[in-house]
Structure 1
């Protein structure tokens, strides 16, 4: 089971990860939240924190 976050509006989001290749050919890991838990769910990485958008309530990962 991955990391879950309940926002101020009471909705639960699950943290997921994906490895992508950028235009320059560099590999980068991206983190994103979804309402459902999928096979690529993950735990909160070290050195990161969760911030919630005050207007929409959507969470996102930010460097600590």
Structure 2
């Protein structure tokens, strides 16, 4: 099941991933649900207080 996040403004974002240079996985949010992925284990979602945009962060 794909991971979605609804921010404080009520906008729903879907988590996507792609492969960056060197094979590293890059996670980003989009308003398009097509191709969305699950939230990987060991990561959490935080929201930028000014813009309301969600970001993926490794848990400490």
Q: Same fold (TM over 0.5)?
A: yes
Quote how far apart the aligned CAs of 1:38 are.
1.9
The answer to whether the aligner puts 1:58 opposite 2:46 as a matched pair is: no
What is the match of residue 7 of structure 2? Answer: 7
More helix by share: 2
What is the match of residue 26 of structure 2? Answer: 30
Quote how far apart the aligned CAs of 1:35 are.
0.7
The answer to whether the aligner puts 1:47 opposite 2:30 as a matched pair is: no
Unaligned runs of 5+ in 1: none
Quote how far apart the aligned CAs of 1:59 are.
0.1
**Which structure's CA Rg is the greater one?**
1
Q: Give the alignment's TM-score, normalised by structure 2.
A: 0.91
Quote how far apart the aligned CAs of 1:27 are.
1.3
C-alpha separation in 1, matches of 2:55 and 2:19 = 17
Quote how far apart the aligned CAs of 1:36 are.
1.1
